[in-house]
Amino acid sequence: MSKKILLVDDSKMVLMMEEMILGTKQNYTLISAKDGHEAVEKAVAESPDLVLMDVVMPRMNGFQACKRLRDNQATCGIPVILVTTKGQEEDVEAGFEHGCCDYLTKPIHEHELINMVEAYLGE
């Protein structure tokens, strides 16, 4: 059965790269959002199986969006992986405090991303 993944990043380049990497897996349906606000809306409307989200974004950042998803009954069960350049220990802690399940730092290592996604989607 196809799994739906919501990709959230304000960088077209990062979205394109994630789509290329995960697009090689035929059983993934990929949807995208360009900021935290749009991500929350799409998560409610589409009920994805997994969210990959950047932190530094306009309108609503990844931490805030993550918290919103956790506070909403419809989306509180969706695992969120933060994918960000912010790799300092305090950033990672802040990510987990806001409810992310895992933390992946950029630059993305292709197979690390695939392995993490597969682990969360039970494959």
Structure tokens at 83: 């994918």
4 φ, ψ to 5°? -100, 130
Contact yes or no for 43/67 (Cβ under 8 A): no
Q: Which stretch binds another protein (CB under 8 A): 28-36, 41-49, 67-75, 106-114?
A: 106-114
Task: From 90, 89, 98, 29, select the one nearest 62 (Cα to Cα).
Answer: 98
* Cβ proximity to another protein, 41 vs 104, nearer residue: 104
* 113, two tokens: 């991303």
94/74 Cα distance (integer angstroms): 23
List binders of another protein among 72-91 (CB under 8 A).
Answer: 85, 87-88
Report if residue 30 touches another protein, rule: CB under 8 A: no
Q: CB under 8 A: which stretch of 19-27, 31-39, 40-48, 59-67 binds another protein?
A: 19-27
Please tell me whether residue 101 binds another protein under the rule CB under 8 A: yes
Residues at the contact surface with another protein, assessed by CB under 8 A: 11-14, 16-17, 20-21, 24, 85, 87-88, 101-102, 105-108, 110-111, 114-116, 119-120, 122
